Each structure stands twice: as C-alpha cells, then as structure tokens.
Structure 1
Amino acid sequence: MHGHQIRQSAQRDHTELWTDIKVGSLYGALHRMAGEGLIEEVRTEQEGSLPARTIYEITEDGRLELESLRDAALRDTKLAPDPVDLALQLSEDVPTPILASTIRDRLGALTCKLEEWRRLKEVAAPYLTPLETHGFDHTLMRLETEVTWHEGLLKALSVTPAGVVERGEDE
C-alpha cells in the first residue's frame, strides 16, 4: 500500500491505541520503519495528476515485529489507571451541583459514543469476522460499563441523570 492507504487503514483500525505510531506522524514512521528494515519500498505509482506515491511492503522482519506486538497486546492484562478516579479523589472541594454537571456531561458523551458504536457494529456486522465481532462486543461492553458507573456516581451524588439535585429528608 502507499502511505495514504496505510493512513486510512490505521485510522479505521485505531492503530494509535496499540502502537507508538500516531496517524498524524505516519509518513515519518514509514521512513523510520523502512530504515529499520520492517518495510521496504517496492515501487512508485502515479495516477493521473495525483502526486507519485511510494508503495510499501512489509518485510519478514516486519512480520516478526508485528507478531511480537500482537502477542504482547494479547498477553497484556494490566488496567491503565483512569484519570477520572484521581480527579474524583481531589474533588472534595467542588460543589456537588458543579461536580454532578461535569459527570452528567461525561455520561452524555459516553452514551453518545455507545450509541455510535452500536450503529457502527450494526452497519459493519455483515462484513465482520467472528473475531472482529468480539472486538466490537468488547468495546460495547466497556462503554456500557462506563455508562453504568457514571449513572451510579450521579446517584451517589444524590443527583438524578436529568440533573435535579435531590434534597435529603433533613434539608
């Protein structure tokens, strides 16, 4: 593939989540990987008035590196700390309505993201392999858990999801 095709594929696959290559710095990474012997230039193509594009191919060393990255990702079970947990620990001085508003905004964003992933899975379903379907399900379950956790946090703050601060009996 040429760089633009690789970039599109990397964006679809969310490559930045499992490697140190950011989509925005792809061309620099291609040159670095070529220098390391992980990929090689096989030819240059030009379609019409478009700029010439270098076509890359993965090398045997590149396949071994890819397998190593994949295997490491499959074995990695550590949970990355969520900055929200630390922020909550440091939020004792934040008035409850303000904290609740922030959490409500997060809940809304996560709910939207969950619905986007549900729609995406529905559209993609006919084209997904069984393993890709499990990947979608993993993301959906994680988002569902986040939504449930945020709803529980709002309840713990005595705030309804609609944003009404409930008064205790002694208030």
Structure 2
Amino acid sequence: MNPTRLFVLGALSKRGPMHGHQLRRDARVDRAELWSQVKPGSLYGALHRLEGEGLIRPLRTEQDGALPARTVYEITAEGIRELRALRDEAFTEFELKPDPVDLALAVSADLDRDVLRGYVEDRIAVLAARELQFDHQLDRRWPDQSTADDLIVAHAKMRIQTEIAWHKKVLADIDKLEAR
C-alpha cells in the first residue's frame, strides 16, 4: 500500500480539483508527516505518476500574477476505484514491522550496561518529546479538524506511550540481561 498515492487520491476525492502546491499545503496543514509516511516533497512526483496511470487528469492551468503556472488535477473514475482499493488495503492489511532496536538489544550482550542504559534513556527522551508534539497538536486544533483527526492523534500517542513503557521495562530489566 502506497501512502502517498492514498493521500493524493483521497485529497482530490475529498476536496475536489487541486494543484500540487495546494496538495503540499494540505499535507503541511494536516501535519501528514506526523501520522503518515507522506512526505510533502514526494507529492509532485506522485501527481505525474498518477496522471501517467490515468488515475488523475489535468483539468486546467492557473497562473496568479508572476507565479509559475500550476496544473489543477482532478481524480478520474479509475482513480476513484484505485482510492477504494488502496483504502481497503490500508484497512485490511496489518503489518507489525520488526523494530531494529529489538535486534540491537538481542546482540548487545557485549555492550557495557551503562552504555546500553544511555541508549535506552536517550530513546525514551526522544519518544517523550514526540509525545509532547502530539499533545501540542491537540492544543492547537486547526479549523477543520475532525473526529478522525483526533482519533489519528490519539492512536499515535498511544503507540508512543506503549513504546515508552517498553523502554522503561528494558531499563528495569537491564541488569538481568545475559553478559558474555
């Protein structure tokens, strides 16, 4: 499942015809980088690929003053079918990818426990900072923030909280790890 394709097709289906700059802005305003793997810089390339596949089509070209001309795209009937398939795939696909930290922990028997403790504490600090970002997102609601947006933020926060709890368990059990 390609999240960028899903984002572009979903945005065009939901909001109607748009040009690439509007899609990028929407990704930034919706804070897509916090809750998805969509990178705003990848959207222009995705537009060209989707057009080449007949999933979107150019509707018109707009130009405001001295700004560059911008192509406005709309989703096609085939694009709507692709959107449904991608959405179905996203809802039904479940993949819990292994975290590289698990492998690093499995091969850390020769690592000094204080060094390992430092790594784990640093990871907790990064996770806690990320959790604060989501707290601030809830404090700074945007005008059209929906219940779905709130649920997405809650999902991300819960995942981070679980990661923090696991890292704290590693810290608590760090002296029980086998040393070589």
The answer for the alignment partner of 2:4 in structure 1 is none
The count of aligned residue pairs is 156
User: In 2, distance between residues paired with 1:39 and 1:51?
Assistant: 21
The answer for the alignment partner of 2:45 in structure 1 is 28
Question: Using CA pairs below 8 Å that are at least 6 residues apart, which structure has the higher relative contact order?
Answer: 2
User: In 2, distance between residues paired with 1:103 and 1:73?
Assistant: 32
How does the TM-score come out when normalised to structure 1? 0.82
- CA displacement at 1:70 relative to structure 2: 0.9
The answer for the alignment partner of 2:32 in structure 1 is 13
Q: 1:65 aligns with which of 72, 78, 82?
A: 82
User: In 2, distance between residues paired with 1:143 and 1:2?
Assistant: 34
Q: Does 1:124 align with 2:141?
A: yes
User: In 2, distance between residues paired with 1:95 and 1:43?
Assistant: 63
The answer for the alignment partner of 2:97 in structure 1 is 80
- CA displacement at 1:14 relative to structure 2: 3.7
Mark the CA change 1:124 to 1:6 in structure 2 (over 3 Å): closer, same or farther: same
User: In 2, distance between residues paired with 1:15 and 1:40?
Assistant: 29
Q: Does 1:141 align with 2:158?
A: yes
Q: Give the AA of the match of 1:13.
A: A
The answer for the alignment partner of 2:64 in structure 1 is 47
User: In 2, distance between residues paired with 1:137 and 1:15?
Assistant: 12
Q: Does 1:111 align with 2:128?
A: yes
RMSD of equivalent CA atoms = 2.1
Encode CA deviations 1:36-91: one digit per residue, 9 max, x unaligned.
Answer: 11000011111111111111111111111111111111112221111111111011
Which stretches in structure 1 are left out of the alignment for 5+ residues? 159-171
Shifted more, 94-103 versus 128-137: the winner is 128-137
Mark the CA change 1:125 to 1:155 in structure 2 (over 3 Å): closer, same or farther: farther
User: In 1, distance between residues paired with 2:161 and 2:86?
Assistant: 28
**Runs of 4 or more consecutive aligned structure 1 residues displaced over 4 Å after TM superposition:** none
- CA displacement at 1:118 relative to structure 2: 1.1
User: In 1, distance between residues paired with 2:34 and 2:79?
Assistant: 16
- 1:141 counterpart SS class: helix
Which stretches in structure 2 are left out of the alignment for 5+ residues? 1-17, 176-180
- CA displacement at 1:23 relative to structure 2: 3.4
User: In 2, distance between residues paired with 1:129 and 1:17?
Assistant: 16
Q: Give the AA of the match of 1:86.
A: L
Q: Give the AA of the match of 2:135.
A: R
